[in-house]
A and B are shown apart, each in its own frame.
Chain A
Amino acid sequence: MYPTWEVPALTAGGVIGLIAAFHILPSHLSVSAMWFNVFLENRAYRQNRPELIEYIKKYTRTLLIFSYVLGSLTGVGIWFSATVASPRGISGLIHTYVWAWATEWVFFVIEVIGIFVYYYTFGKVDRRTHLRIGIVFAVASWVTMIIIVGILAFMLTPGKFNETGSFFDGFFNPTYFPQLFTRTGFMFAISATFAMAVASRLKDEETREEITRLAAKWGIAGLLVGSVMLVPWAATLPAATAYKAGLAGLVPGTVLYGSVAVAVLMLVYFVWALRTPGAITTATAVLAIFILFTGILGGERIREMLRKPYVIAGYMYSNQVIAHGVASRGVEPEVEAMSRDGFLKHVALVPPALQPISDGNRVAVGRFLAEQQCSACHALGDTGLRPLARMVRRLRLADVERTDGYLTGLGHYDFMPSFVGNDAERHALAAYLVELGKGATALAAKH
């Protein structure tokens, strides 16, 4: 086990969550925007409409800056934040899917060269050549989605991977195709929302309304396709996971219904834009992007919740302990060995002050264990994501003996791994939790 990074309130996992949810906007924009561009550029040439080309240039510049500054850097940001939030998780994925990422990278190269060539050759090459560049970009861009969805879907439904250890069995897993088509639908809703924001800056009213209406149509179609594809996606989820989708308060109602509400709201927005395109101002369009983002945040949160207690379903718990081995790759499960030898034996850098466990350092060891085993999902303080102190108080775990009993039975929850470690370590964690429940001040005094 690697050292941990503690982020007050937000948790390190929350940092990935925010960066990853944000990344969806520029990345999905990048994958879909050029289809819209090529469609419009083709119309501009056929009908000889230079004003449309002016718009396409603007939209391309938005794409260039938004997707290739924020998009590529938040993409790298997911890796960096995953590195410090769940190093063993990202390492497990990389050691399985390194060639998938490398393959995706080839298409990134085509994308980045493509977007610059497209942007800088407006009026510098003949029209059909310019259109071809757009098509090369658009197709290559969709390929990056074809690839990354394999890894994302694997994390939720590894399919036959655990039996066979085969790359393609894990990659083309049960939720692969439904998720690919869901994202493909929703990406058009995202690029339509951006297209309308860019169009709102156009001075010429007629062009503005024409583009807004076109974008609204794409948006409606994308939203419908994406939503319909959620049905087969949900149907392919394993029973235990599907059950969790509606599980008592696990996915908070605000998140579940909020995401649905955003989808409905976006549909209303597109229909409104289709009927009265003149009414869409820049302010409205930017507000729509923000609303869309909250929906994405909700959707990503649900996807993450469905995966609990795993970070990689069927393989590794959220706290990075390997739950089930992959025999064909010689990977052993760790729960038993860690409970037998003591968890701390399996942690790389245990501070000297925490060894061996004694009356003097018990609470500090407990805190260290909480950082290792709980902090992936729980803030250790009073506030933030699923804060432990508040949970301890709500469950009224006020004495060490009972808290210890509680920890013994932890594995009974569907969404939480069991405590991993020996008796002395479990006592230490119990002692820490009891102190934590008493309040931050009591703990600070001891620390």
Chain B
Amino acid sequence: MESHVNEVLAALRDPMGVPLYPVVFQLLMVLTFALHILFVNFVVGGLLISLWGRFRRAERWQRLSATTARIATVSVSFAVLIGVAPLLFVQVIYDPFWYTSNLLSAAWVVGFVFLMIAAYSASYRYYLRHHRGAARTAFWGLIALAGFLLAGFVIHALNYQALLPDAWLGWASTEGGADTRGTTLHAWQWARYLHVILASPVLTGLLLVASAWYFRNRGDRDPEYLAWVAKLGLHLAFGFGVISVGTGLWWSAVIPGKLGFHADPFYLVAIVLGVALVGYLWAVRKDPLRHAVPAGVAGLVVVLAMAAARESLRSDYVGQFGYSIFDYPVNLDWGSTALFFLTFLWGFIAIGYLLTVAYRSGRAEGEVDLSGTGMRTFGNLAIASLVAWIGVVVGLGAYVTYQHVAPALAAPTDAAATAPAMGAGPATATAPAAATAPAAADHPKAVMCAGCHGADGNSPTPDNPTLAGQHREYLIVAIESYRDGRRTHAPMQALVSGLGGQDVVELAGLYCLQPVKPVGYAEKLPGDRNAAETHSCAGCHGNRGVSSSPRTPKLAALSGTYLTSALQAYREGTRTHGLMRALAAPRSDDEIAHLAAFYAVSAPRE
């Protein structure tokens, strides 16, 4: 069983490989996940505190409730923004796990997006109504909280399901076949989910302490209120910190012992740091403002340690099935790696500028003048850095494009041949029938064709197909199929046996270049596009019988009589081609005649 799972996982891994050593993606994933979950905690914690405050009479609670509503709402933006990064990196190094788990609960995955939109909208509504002092705002806050909690639960389940590959087949199967509805969440772990959710008031509490510290020097803020906020924040952090230690122990109790996680140094460090944080909060509870910054930093460190332990736990889970991110095939790509890391560093100029403006404008009341030389230069530098980035990258783009276009420009006659064929096989362009096309009759073997198909490839009778203007490749295919007996027609078979390979190529090349001429005989039926029901023909033979694929014949302007006999031959099975036989078999004589007539009167073939 396990070896089967190992094979499945190995087969699912993306064959493109990764552009840099997997450990780099793992590190970035853990770092960005820690930041993401921090903001997730602010969302949940902010809404919890805000709703609690909404139902309290005291004016300060109302004030705090409005502030935390805003914190929660703004934090959603950052949670989503930062969440994109670990979502990207998990797909790089754990793609088999992430994709399979998503597929098995696909409806929830898409539902998650709509749930988030609904919850985020409710959150905005709550926050904006709150600031306008509207009554009954709590309703929208509760909707938002419920939505975010459920959305978080979905993501939790997807991540947990990903760790259980030996259960996947059971989830994917029904009694008689496959379950492709994706409407079931298959596995979750309450302890793990609650451990993350109940940490929300801890981190949001620390954020409150930090914000009280930030506003401490602003004259328009009531120091008594700030002191109260700081104290409340610290008490929340401590109280829920104790609870979080409990949920953390509960989680570690349900982690299977065989994973060996309980002796994992990452796990032990995370536990020690978590408990130490709670102890530290207890110790500084009397004077939170003085310890605001170290407490905030300590909170961040604990989140990072937890994120690292979580990743270590994942590698233990997947290791059971012989999966290690370090085996991922690496196709080193220094160019794009440099693009990212340089951009990342470069981006700090603009990010630094924005954050500095935000930080400095918030610390004082009223309008802050940041027009001094320092900030002005900083701002101009931020803009210049972005413009320079565009210059470099677009310049690189222009250079690469020029490299690709240059050969085509240098040899304009070859342009058609070198046009990218999208890997779809041979180039599909057929040379247009030039007025100066060499006469087919000049070829020494042309006399073998001319009798029935006309000296210039325009057939004199409706019984024989016109060769003029046909795809060269198709003419070759047709001759080959007479030669090997797939098409049977005694005169043709006899004649082609006298043609060498070189003759075939040359004759096809000549006839395809001959212009199509108006026919000298009358067509029997008027072409009727609707009656002809040509949709299923058009896929291969093209719009109005001009096919794009060089191996598929153009039908336009072939005679109705010839087309009728060809379709009948497919129907009777004397011409063998699975698809054509399947399509022709159910057609009546009448329908075949209509189809043939439609193409017979269709426009010429170029």
Q: Which of A38-67 contact B (CB under 8 A)?
A: 65
In the complex, the answer to whether B87 meets A76 with C-beta atoms within 8 Å is yes
CA distance in complex: A322, B429 (Å): 25
Residues of B near A346 (CB, < 8 A) are 11
Quote the shortest CB–CB distance from A148 to chain B (angstroms): 13
Residues of B near A157 (CB, < 8 A) are 420, 422
Interface presence of B488 (CB below 8 A): no
Q: Which of A162-190 contact B (CB under 8 A)?
A: 162, 165-169, 171-172, 174, 176-177
In the complex, identify which listed stretch (B228-236, B490-498, B576-584) lies at the interface while the others stay far away: B576-584
CA distance in complex: A72, B168 (Å): 31
Residues of A near B124 (CB, < 8 A) are 65, 69
Quote the shortest CB–CB distance from A310 to chain B (angstroms): 8
Interface presence of A91 (CB below 8 A): yes
The answer, among A105, A367, A403, for a CB contact under 8 Å with B582, is A403
Given A5-B182, A238-B419, A125 contacting B539 (CB threshold 8 A): no
Interface presence of A257 (CB below 8 A): no
In the complex, the answer to whether A331 meets B382 with C-beta atoms within 8 Å is no
In the complex, the answer to whether A132 meets B172 with C-beta atoms within 8 Å is no
Inter-chain residue pair count (beta carbon < 8 A): 397
Residues of B near A81 (CB, < 8 A) are 109-110, 113
Residues of A near B80 (CB, < 8 A) are 72-73, 76
Interface presence of A281 (CB below 8 A): no
Residues of B near A98 (CB, < 8 A) are 18-19, 25, 88-89, 92, 336
Choose among B112, B121, B380, B389 the residue with the greatest number of A CB atoms under 10 Å from its CB: B389
In the complex, the answer to whether A371 meets B180 with C-beta atoms within 8 Å is yes
Interface presence of B358 (CB below 8 A): yes
Q: Which of B519-570 contact A (CB under 8 A)?
A: 534-536, 538-540, 542-544, 548-549, 551-552
In the complex, the answer to whether A240 meets B548 with C-beta atoms within 8 Å is yes
In the complex, the answer to whether B542 meets A139 with C-beta atoms within 8 Å is no
Please name the residue on chain B nearest to A147 by beta carbon. B393
Please name the residue on chain B nearest to A403 by beta carbon. B582
The answer, among A68, A72, A146, for a CB contact under 8 Å with B393, is A146
Interface presence of B361 (CB below 8 A): yes
Q: Which of A342-374 contact B (CB under 8 A)?
A: 346, 348-354, 361, 364, 367-368, 371
Q: Which of B91-123 contact A (CB under 8 A)?
A: 91-92, 95-96, 98-100, 102-104, 106-107, 109-110, 112-113, 116-117, 120-121
In the complex, identify which listed stretch (B276-284, B291-299, B317-325, B349-357) lies at the interface while the others stay far away: B349-357
In the complex, the answer to whether A76 meets B83 with C-beta atoms within 8 Å is yes
Interface presence of B444 (CB below 8 A): no
Given A329-B16, A415-B539, A172 contacting B400 (CB threshold 8 A): yes
Interface presence of A412 (CB below 8 A): yes
The answer, among B333, B383, B543, for a CB contact under 8 Å with A248, is B543
CA distance in complex: A5, B353 (Å): 45
In the complex, identify which listed stretch (A116-124, A214-222, A283-291) lies at the interface while the others stay far away: A116-124
Give the dominant DSSP class at A's interface.
Answer: helix
Residues of A near B159 (CB, < 8 A) are none
A-B contact pairs, 18 of them (CB 8 A): A12-B106, A81-B110, A83-B102, A84-B106, A87-B95, A106-B344, A109-B81, A146-B394, A169-B404, A171-B397, A172-B396, A246-B543, A248-B534, A248-B543, A313-B422, A348-B11, A351-B169, A409-B578
Q: Which 9 A-B pairs have the closest CB atoms?
A: A409-B579, A248-B538, A314-B423, A405-B578, A406-B582, A351-B173, A5-B106, A396-B586, A408-B578
- Give B contacts to A, CB under 8 Å: 8, 11-12, 14-20, 25, 28, 74, 77-78, 80-81, 83-85, 87-89, 91-92, 95-96, 98-100, 102-104, 106-107, 109-110, 112-113, 116-117, 120-121, 124, 168-169, 172-178, 180-182, 329, 331, 333, 335-337, 339-340, 343-344, 347, 350-351, 353-355, 357-358, 361-362, 366-371, 375-376, 379-380, 382-383, 386-387, 389-390, 393-394, 396-398, 400-401, 404, 416, 419-424, 427-429, 534-536, 538-540, 542-544, 548-549, 551-552, 577-583, 585-586
Q: Can you name 9 extra interface pairs (CB under 8 A) apart from A19-B113, A128-B371, A136-B354?
A: A3-B172, A4-B180, A90-B91, A95-B19, A98-B18, A102-B88, A136-B383, A160-B404, A247-B538
- Give A contacts to B, CB under 8 Å: 2-6, 12, 15, 19, 65, 68-70, 72-77, 79-81, 83-84, 87-88, 90-92, 94-103, 105-110, 112-114, 116-117, 120-121, 123-126, 128-129, 132-133, 135-136, 139-140, 142-143, 146, 157-160, 162, 165-169, 171-172, 174, 176-177, 238-241, 243-244, 246-250, 310, 313-315, 322-324, 326, 329-332, 346, 348-354, 361, 364, 367-368, 371, 394-398, 402-410, 412-416, 447
